[in-house]
Amino acid sequence: MNIQENIPLAPFTTFGVGGPARYFVEARSESEVREALDFAAAKHLPVFVLGGGSNLVIADEGWPGLVLKIALMGVEFSVQGGEAIVHAGAGESWDGLVAHSVERNCAGLECMSGIPGTVGGTPVQNVGAYGQEVSQTITSVCALEIGTGKVIQVSNERCKFAYRTSVFNTSESGRWIVLGVEYRLKSNGEPTLEYAELRKFFAAAASEPTLQQVRDAIRQIRQSKAMLLLPGDEDCRSAGSFFKNPLVSASEAKRIEALAQLRVPTKVLPRYPGRDSTVKLSAAWRVEQAGFSKGYSRGPVGISRKHALAIVNRGGATARDIIALKNEIEQKVFEVWGVRLEPEPALVGFEQLAIGK
């Protein structure tokens, strides 16, 4: 295991911002993860676990402890009857795993094509897109408990998945390190076509689309919104959707809908069924109607020209610039709509800076 010192973290993130890690190690095995944790414990260092770097903002001051980059690899498929059980190491590319499952004609992940990051991050955030969430296919998560060193299989139920959350980023944040994930897919299954935008894409098709066609369509749609990482595209220098879509009660949705009819009577308020009788509202719609249209700029940061929810680094931005725009958007959306937006990316290293509170 190679422990490095004062390693810049910006190159490990899709945002391209962030200061150095006091110590940095890339762990390629469970034993190296344990060795890194022992090192941190001996020096009384805080530990931050880094995956693909696609869903976080790291403070300009960096991380004062150990950054542990998880690079456990390996994918195994086992097909029994109409099911395929997939074991994937936490360091595997997520989009690579989706591509692999589609090539094997296994359904369940195809709508999450093109999402950057690693397998290990998917259960933490309950990653989802275009009508699918990983909670629908995850059977268990292989996780190491930092305090005891025990490795256990955390069941789907035990993960307590909800919209963009799980125990790993809420009630038990900082307790576990994800080593691998097991998914149950449908062998020779049909693609999921629940999302309106996806159904519209295939509306003129003469026959039902294949898994590969759905994957290709999702990647094309994501690219049109700069949500597919492409070298040289400024609008891709982001953390993807920066804010979660708000989940509100039915009565609160009615209040906001009435307000929308007064403020922008020519616009239709987007709303979708949420969990447990809640209503999911479009954060992007709210951001745009609060004055932050696509292409908005605030010095070196701004809003993507293709997607109103993506804050982008236009070049030379700092983490403080990003957080300042985040705060400005949150405040204005609350003033206009009475709705508080929640950031989707993890904010790392800001604890001592009182930024973003």
Q: Which helix (H) or strand (E) holds 32?
A: helix 30-42
In terms of C-beta distances under 8 Å and separation of at least 24 residues, what long-range contacts does 251-255 make, across chains too?
252/279, 253/279, 253/281, 255/338
26 labelled catalytic: no
Instruction: Choose among 2, 1, 4, 38: nearest CA to 21.
Output: 4
- Cα separation, 352 vs 2, in Å, equals 28
Q: Which of 166, 238, 241, 304 is catalytic?
A: 241
In the annotation, is 237 catalytic? Answer: no
Residue from 92, 135, 164, 166 carrying the catalytic annotation:
164
Determine the distance from the C-alpha atom of residue 219 to the mean position of all C-alpha atoms in its chain, rounded to a whole number.
16
Residues 6+ apart with CB under 8 A from 303: 287, 292, 293, 294, 295, 296, 297, 310, 311, 312
Pairing between β-strand 247-248 and β-strand 75-80 as defined by DSSP bridges: unpaired
Is 207 catalytic? The answer is no
Question: Residue 312, exposed/middle/buried by CB under 10 A (0-12, 13-18, 19+)?
Answer: buried
Say which of 32, 182, 288, 344 is annotated catalytic. Answer: 344
Catalytic residues: 164, 241, 344
